[in-house]
Structure 1
Amino acid sequence: MGTHVIKMPDIGEGIAQVELVEWFVKVGDLIAEDQVVADVMTDKATVEIPSPVSGKVLALGGQPGEVMAVGSELIRIEVEGSGNHVDAAPSQVQQSAAAVAPAQVEVQAAPQPPIERTSTPEAGPVASPIVPREAQEKPLASPAVRKRALDAGIELRYVHGSGPAGRILHEDLDAFISAPQGAAGQRSPACGKRTDSQQVPVIGLRRKIAQRMQDAKRRVAHFSYVEEVDVTQLEALRQQLNAQYGERRGKLTLLPLLVRALVVALRDFPQINATYDDEAQLITRHGAVHVGIATQSDSGLMVPVLRHAEAGSLWDNASEIARVAQAARGNKASREELSGSTITLTSLGALGGIVSTPVVNTPEVAIVGVNRIVERPVVVGGQIVVRKMMNLSSSFDHRVVDGMDAALFIQAVRGLLEQPACLFVE
């Protein structure tokens, strides 16, 4: 038997270090060739690290949340044959009880290529007797699964996990909830005092979000501007287009119409479709309109990019928005799909509230926020009528965008939305 060492691969684009997000294996596990052993995160995307060999896990080279250099030791696997490495001294990484072979000279192996997340389906839930984990053993599950279990009063230590390395999936919760609950202590009482607490490490995407938001608030001179918009005619147009073309071309949401308004308005305000390099003191005004679409995923907020919005039709942009948003929600978006935006559009849909103060997505200089549509009485031509009203809550980088320019830009967007025929006048 020999030892095969997997080192942190070079993911490319000059990346020297990555964050270890999650292990899918533990010491003592038997793994197969091409099985994903860990998730790591770069500045933009989560990348899966597969094993090039089959064998038994001897040691793990880091803990979730740890930043690891490219080329550092990630995992050791006991394999048939000589492997690619044998220790000359006890390893500094976490060792299993298995003995390591006598010292030999390390043979460098080519780094195993990482693979970005694919749509390969995970195994479904498997019926299994409930065997509770040890009290100190932390079940593997995503934050969304943990929150759902907490809300349902389910202790995850009783739930069988069918995902990689026993990871608990939403399907496993569904199976657990629908199964007869015969074992005592599987559910927490609906009422009664609780003394439990949970510590959630800030790692992976959540750490990146925290760092970016902190950096944006620290470096950007934010100011926000809010304007109400009468979208009665816009909604009538959207419904008419869906009734006439929806079956053949797909249903339109409000987003592609908002994107169209941004594209048209930015023609007269190039200083807003810009990025600012504050280290080089350089503003770049972009001809292309690459719209970041703020998207909520189970892991946190992500901003996939609709590229060349200025060149797409309503339906082209609608289809691409749906595609990149779905990729982000499924944690399958590539680095290219998560970078390069020139202005961001953020919307909480029906939860959009009345007013918000979105944070500029640096190095951009503007973000347009959409609040919910409500019907309320307004005065039109001296008469009180019911109209569909919506607020635009937008933020700008005051180092680059003057208050007057921001106000004029939002007023231009408002005019286009209130007279939607102007969206298509060239």
Structure 2
Amino acid sequence: MARFTFNLPDIGEGIAEAEIVAWHVKPGDRVEEDQQLADMMTDKATVEMESPVAGTVLEIAGEAGEVIAIGSMLVVIETEGEGEGEPDLPAPPVAEAVAERIEAENSDAGDADRVMEAVVAPDPSTSSGREDVSQGQDARPAHAEPVEASGTTPTTKILASPAVRARAKDLGIDLGEVKPAEDGRLRHADLDAFLSYNAGYAAAAPRRADEQVKVIGMRRRIAENMAAAKRHIPHFTYVEEIDVTDLETLREQLNAARGTKPKLTLLPLIITAICKALPDFPMINARYDDEAGVVTRHGAVHLGMATQTEAGLMVPVIRDAQARNLWQLAGEIARLAEAARSGKAKSEELSGSTLTVTSLGPLGGVATTPVINRPEVAIIGPNRIVERPMFVSDGMGGERVAKRKLMNLSISCDHRVVDGWDAASFVQALRRLLETPALLLV
């Protein structure tokens, strides 16, 4: 037998460390060559680490959420072959195993109701007609010491079965507020009487147990990036209402004649308008290196597209969006969104954006204040389309009321680089293009 130490390899240019997102093995597991060991996250993407040898896992670098340096030990594997001797496998963590078993058997050690779950047989005097949830389980003797209610003084005892306590807990009722009808013991009938005089409790949702979720992987990257953006960038947001009735009509006409081309959503049309307007507003399509004090105004539009995935928000990039037509944009949007959601997006597809668009689609809301994707200086957020009556020209010099499709368009900008006048002027240029959609095809 021999020990093989698998060090974290160089997984990208300029990458010095990576975060352990998930382990697929543990000490004692048998692994085959090329079997997946762990998922590692860098600043750019998640990378799957595969075993270069077959053998038994002896050690792993750390827990999910820990960050390790490139070149440091990731996994130690015992392989078959010549070696200095068979290393002893680490002894099983007996204390931890016992603690886990106790925790599994008593999922809520502080809740005597869950541990014992039953107290006494249903009282025939109870008028609620409810079955005690403790049926079929071992019952606690009726003379057992009652459990002290939270929120009461140490000397105050409330007599109630675990079933009654569990029901009161789900309803959010403090048992100290309920008065028993007889013999000092609270029953379901007493809860029913309390609810009849306190109707607000009847609509209360069941109480859920607290849970702690470790912030690791993509969620930690998002948290760090958003915090850095709000900490370093003085945001301001401008919102304008746009009449997209004619734009929607154009989209429907193009889809009706699309043949085998991808179906158009509103996003390719908005992106086309953005690309047509940007040459007159170069300060919008820019990146700001605040440490060097340099703003780079980009000629090409590498458009970030905020995409919701199971792991969190990712921003795949449409390269040279200004050089693509509507159908090419629709195809690239669909391809990148699928790659992001399936976890197959390449690192180069997730970096290098010069401007970002974020949209919640049908959930878009009335207006949004999106957070800038640093080091960019602006982010654009189209909102939900709603139908409302508007005054429109009747073609004879007067006005009439008509049903129109309206959408608010939000833009958040870095006030260190973009002035309010520039942001408003840019959005007004977008408005003219979107409200006169024939201009998009010229």
TM-score range, shorter chain: 0.7 to 0.9
SS of equivalent to 1:407: helix
1:407 counterpart = 2:419: no
Give the TM-score normalised by structure 2: 0.72
CA 1:317 to 1:236, structure 2 compared with 1: closer, same or farther past 3 Å?
same
What SS does structure 1 have at the residue aligned with 2:335?
helix
Partner of 1:379: 391
- Contact 1:343–1:365 under 8 Å retained in 2: yes
SS in 2 for 1:396: strand
Match of 1:392 among 409, 412, 420: 409
Contact in 1 for aligned 2:24/2:38 (Cα 8 Å): yes
The answer as to 2:228 corresponding to 1:215 is: yes
1:241-285 per-position Cα deviation (integer Å, ceiling 9, x unaligned): 00011x321211111101100000001111111111001100101
* Change in CA separation of 1:136 and 1:303 when aligned onto 2, cut-off 3 Å: farther
8 A contact 1:344–1:368 mirrored in 2: yes
Residue 251 (structure 2) aligns with? 238
Q: Tell me what 1:79 maps to.
A: 79
Distance of 1:409 and 1:12 partners within structure 2:
37
Q: Is the 8 A contact 1:3 1:82 kept in 2?
A: no
CA distance in 2, matches of 1:235, 1:244: 15
Secondary structure at the aligned position of 2:257 is classed as helix
State yes or no: 1:419 paired with 2:431: no
Distance 1:413 1:305, change over 3 A: same
2:36 is aligned to 36
Report SS of the residue matched to 2:27: coil
Counting only pairs closer than 5 Å after superposition, residues 265-276 of structure 1 correspond to structure 2 as 265-276=277-288
Q: Which amino acid aligns with 1:240?
A: Q
Q: How far off its partner does 1:394 sit? A: 1.1
Match of 1:170 in 2: none
Note if contact 2:390-2:401 (Cα within 8 Å) is conserved in structure 1. Answer: yes
CA contact (8 A) 1:20 1:65 kept: yes
Query: Which residue of 97, 111, 119 maps to 2:91?
Result: 97
* Structure 2 unaligned residues grouped into runs of 5+: 93-99, 105-136, 138-166, 172-205, 394-398
1:323 matches 2:335: yes
- 1:33–1:54 CA contact under 8 A, matched in 2: yes
Q: What is aligned with 1:105?
A: none
Relative to structure 1, is the Cα distance of residues 205 and 86 closer, same or farther in structure 2, using a 3 angstrom cutoff? Answer: farther
Pairs aligned (count)? 335
1:362 is aligned to 2:374: yes
Question: Do the aligned partners of 1:10 and 1:71 also contact (CA within 8 Å) in 2?
Answer: yes
What SS does the aligned partner of 2:301 have? coil
Equivalent residues in 2 for 1:294-309, closer than 5 Å: 294-309=306-321
What SS does the corresponding residue of 2:391 show, helix, strand or coil? strand
The 1-side partners of 2:81 and 2:272 are apart by 61
Cα distance, 1:330–1:272 mapped onto 2, change above 3 Å: same
The match for 1:56 is: 56
User: For 1:161-172, what aligned pairs fall within 5 Å after superposition?
Assistant: none
Given the alignment, which residue of 330, 344, 348 partners 1:336? Answer: 348
Distance 1:73 1:260, change over 3 A: same
- 1:317-371 Cα deviation digits (max 9, x unpaired): 1111111111111111111000011100000000000011000111111100010
Q: How far 1:12 sits from its partner (Å)?
A: 2.5
Give % identity. Answer: 59
The 1:62–1:9 alpha-carbon spacing in structure 2 relative to 1, beyond 3 Å, is: same
Shift of residue 194, structure 1, vs aligned partner: 4.6
Gaps of 5+ in 1: 99-132, 138-183
Contact 1:3 1:86 in 2 (8 A): no
Give TM-score, length-normalised by structure 1.
0.75
Q: Separation in 1 of the partners of 2:316 and 2:286?
A: 17
* Counterpart residue type for residue 379 of structure 1: F
Task: Provide the secondary structure at the position in 1 that maps to 2:280.
Answer: coil
